[in-house]
Amino acid sequence: MATVAHPRAPLREDRRRRVPARGLLLAGALLALALLASVLIGGLESSLSDVWHAVMTPNGSVADVAIRELRWPRTVNGLVVGACLGIAGCLTQAHTRNPIADPGLLGIYAGAALAVVSGALVGGAALQAAPAQAVLAFIGALLACALVFAVGSASRHGVTTVTLVLAGAAVTALAGGLVSMIVLSNDSALDTLRFWQLGSIAVRGGMVPAMLPFLLAGLLLAAVNVPSLNALALGEETAASLGVDLRRSRTVGIAAIAVLAAVAVTLAGPIAFAGLLVPHLARWLVGLDYRWQLPSSAVLGAAVLLLADTAGRVVARPGELPVGVLLAVMGAPFFIYLARRRKLVSL
C-alpha cells in the first residue's frame, strides 16, 4: 500500500539540506557590504575616515555634504525600496505559485505610470514636481491593484491564481493603452513618463518619512500573511484541508503586495526585475520555508538594489546609470534562464 507523505515533509527535508539562519546571516553580511559601498563610492572618492568625520564631526566640507546630504539619504531610500520589492516579489510568487512573477503582474507599475502621465496632462507643471509625482504614483498603484483584486474576485469561486493573473494582465494592458494614448498626444506627458520610467533611488522630494506609516502597515500585513504561505505552497485544496482560510489569506497577501510595491514605486519609480530576482536568491540561501524566505528577501532586496545602484555610479562615470536600467540589463538573462528551467514552472 502506498504511503502518503506528510504535508510538511518537503520543509523538513529542505531544512536538513540547508541551515536557514546561516543563509540569513550571509544575506545580512552582503547588505552590510552594500551599505558601506553605497556611502563610500560616488563621484567624489571617500574613505572610511571621511565617513566617520561626516557622521561624528561634520564641518561643512565637500565630503561631509556629499556623504550626509546626498549618499546617506539615497542609501536609506535604496534600503527601503529594496526591502519592499523583495518582500512584495516573494509574496507575489507565493500567492500566484509562479516563479517568474513580480509585483508588476498585479498592474501596480502600469497604474502608477497612468497616474503620473495623467497628472502631467491635467495639472501641467504643478503636478510634474517630484513630490506630486510620488503621490500620484502611490495612488495609481493602489487603485490599479484594488481593481485587479476586484475583477479577480468577481467569479463565483472568488479570487484564484488564474483569475488574479488574468485580471492583472487585463488591467496592465488597459493602463498601458491609456498611457500610450496620453503620451502620443501630449509632449509634456511624454517627457514626464520618460524621466519617471528610468527608475532611480535618488531621493525624490524627501518622501521616505511620508511613506513610513504605509511601510509599517505593509510589513505588518506581510507578517500576518506568513503562517499561511507554507500551506498554500502545497496547493489550495491541501491548504484548505489544513485549516487555512484561502480568501482571507489571499486578501491579506495582496494588500501587503499592493502597499509595499506602491511604497517602492513612489520612492524610486518602476524598478523591474528586483521583485523577480530576489525571491529566487532567498530560496537558494535559506530554503523553502517562507518564515525564513520573507526576511531574507527583504535583506537581499535591499542589498541587490544598493549594489546595483553603486555599480551604476561606477560604470558610467562621471555620470551614472539609473538602477532601473542596470537591473533590467542584469535581470533579462536571468528571466530567460528561469523560463527555460522546467522544474521551476510552479512553486
pLDDT of residue 27: 93
Q: Could you tell me the residue range of the domain that residue 129 belongs to?
A: 88-272
Model pTM score:
0.86
Instruction: Report if residue 55 sits inside a domain.
Output: no
Under 8 Å between Cβ of 279 and 334: no
Summarised one tens digit per residue, pLDDT across range 210-262 is 889 999 999 999 999 998 998 888 877 888 888 888 888 888 999 999 999 99
* Number of helices (H), then strands (E), in the chain: 15, 0
At a CB cut-off of 8 Å and minimum separation 6, what does 113 contact?
Answer: 137, 140, 175, 176, 179, 193, 196, 197, 270
Assigned domain for 34 exists: no
Q: What is the pLDDT of residue 241?
A: 82
User: Residue 340 falls within a domain, yes or no?
Assistant: no
Short-list 167, 103, 109, CA closest to 137: 109
The reported pLDDT for the residue numbered 2 is 41
Q: What is the pLDDT of residues 131-158, one digit of tens each?
A: 777 888 899 999 998 898 888 877 766 6
216: in domain: yes
Instruction: Report phi then psi at 98, rounded to 5.
Output: -130, 115
Q: What does DSSP assign to residue 127?
A: G
| 334 occurs within a structural domain | no
Surface-to-core class of residue 221, CB atoms within 10 Å of its CB (0-12 exposed, 13-18 middle, 19+ buried): buried
DSSP state of 103: G
Would residue 105 count as lying in a domain? yes
- The secondary structure of 205-224 as a DSSP string is SS-HHHHHHHHHHHHHHHHH
* Residue 234 main-chain phi, psi, to 5 deg: -85, -5
Report if residue 210 sits inside a domain: yes
Cell of 208: 521616505
What CATH number is attached to the domain comprising 239?
Answer: 1.10.3470.10
Supply the mean pLDDT for the chain.
82
C-alpha cell at 254: 495582496
**How many domains is the chain partitioned into structurally?**
1
Q: Does some domain include residue 56? A: no
Averaged pLDDT for residues 188-216: 80
Which CB contacts under 8 angstroms, 24+ apart, belong to 133-138? 133/192, 133/196, 133/204, 134/204, 134/205, 134/207, 134/266, 134/267, 135/266, 136/112, 137/112, 137/113, 137/196, 137/262, 137/265, 137/266, 137/269, 138/112, 138/211, 138/214, 138/262, 138/263, 138/265, 138/266
Predicted pLDDT of residue 128: 62
User: How much is the pLDDT for 13?
Assistant: 52
What Å distances lie between residue 209 and 39, 85, 215, 253, 265, CA to CA?
A: 20, 18, 10, 24, 15
Give 244 or 16, the one with higher predicted confidence. Answer: 244
DSSP designation for 97: T
User: What is the rounded average pLDDT of the residues 169-184?
Assistant: 90
Residue 123 near residue 132, CB atoms below 8 Å = yes
